Amino acid sequence: MTSSKRKTIAIDGPAAAGKSTVGQRLARSLDYLYFDTGVMYRAVTWAALARHVPVADEEAVTELAQTLPIEVSPPTVDDGRQYTVMADGVDVTWLIRTPQVDANVSTVSAYPGVREAMVRQQRRVAADGAVVMVGRDIGTVVLPDADLKFYVDASVEERARRRWREMLARGEEADYEIVLDSMRRRDEIDSHREVSPLRVAEDAFVLDTTDLGIDAVLAQAQCLAEEADC
């Protein structure tokens, strides 16, 4: 790792735009810590559903977020996962990717108390530096002073297609139109919530993955991270 490489890299973007894949591969190439903050909100959502805590009950969900043990570690099972997510001692890595969690995570993540609890943990992780942190408000709220910021985007149709194919690959039943509708609703909620809405940071580089392969996107990101002549 050369001295020109960044200490903190923030990657934001909507669901299924490719930000997690870009973040993971970029972190690996730089020998940085990769941290996908979205899994924390998904873990809280899964726990609320599993414990029959009404997602509409902001106070109850916030209390859950403040006390729920969440651990994110490198993959512990060779099943295609990018990391292992444990919530309250349960491996929820794939459980947090279900349609039920998809349909409720934007509501949960919009609660100020939930975001406050998660952001505290996220900033502690970033305090040590050399991190690629991925989410929806990293460059704007969690790490506004990050050394480098990316916003990874793609058309909603392409993002829905990716999520649909991912579900089919896991053997789940999935209808593309339903996935597309869910994706559009989540975009609407994420972009218009009062607390930490999804938006492009003023100093972020936008990477559109709609028609661009992951290798090409990664090459752009790595070039900027290494401060090369891009």
Position 193 scores a pLDDT of 85
Q: DSSP state, 171?
A: T
Span 71-90, pLDDT tens digits: 888 889 998 887 899 999 99
Span 200-221, pLDDT tens digits: 999 999 999 999 988 999 999 9
Altogether, the residues listed in the chain come to a count of: 230
List the structure tokens of 51: 């414990």
C-alpha torsion angle, residues 106, 111, 116, 121 (rounded to 10): -40
pTM assigned to the model = 0.80
Q: DSSP state, 204?
A: P
What residue has token string 């050369």? Answer: 2
pLDDT at 3 over 80: no
- Which of the following CATH numbers is that of domain 8-225: 3.30.360.10, 3.20.20.140, 3.40.50.300, 3.90.950.10? 3.40.50.300
- Across the range 21-43, mean pLDDT stands at 92
What residue has token string 């408000």? Answer: 137
Task: List phi, psi (to 5°) of 36.
Answer: -95, 105
pLDDT at 125 over 90: no
pLDDT at 1 over 60: no
Instruction: Return d(Cα 96, Cα 78) in angstroms, integer.
Output: 17
Instruction: Return d(Cα 45, Cα 55) in angstroms, integer.
Output: 8
Instruction: Return d(Cα 61, Cα 168) in angstroms, integer.
Output: 30
Instruction: Return d(Cα 214, Cα 24) in angstroms, integer.
Output: 11
Position 39 scores a pLDDT of 93
Residue 125's identity, in one-letter code, is V
How many Cβ atoms are within 10 Å of 185's Cβ, its own excluded? 13
Q: Where are the domains of the chain?
A: 8-225
Instruction: Return d(Cα 62, Cα 213) in angstroms, integer.
Output: 39
Span 174-204, pLDDT tens digits: 999 999 999 999 899 889 988 889 999 999 9
Instruction: Return d(Cα 226, Cα 230) in angstroms, integer.
Output: 10
Across the chain, mean pLDDT equals 92
Instruction: Return d(Cα 181, Cα 159) in angstroms, integer.
Output: 11
Position 230 scores a pLDDT of 64
List the structure tokens of 23: 């973040």
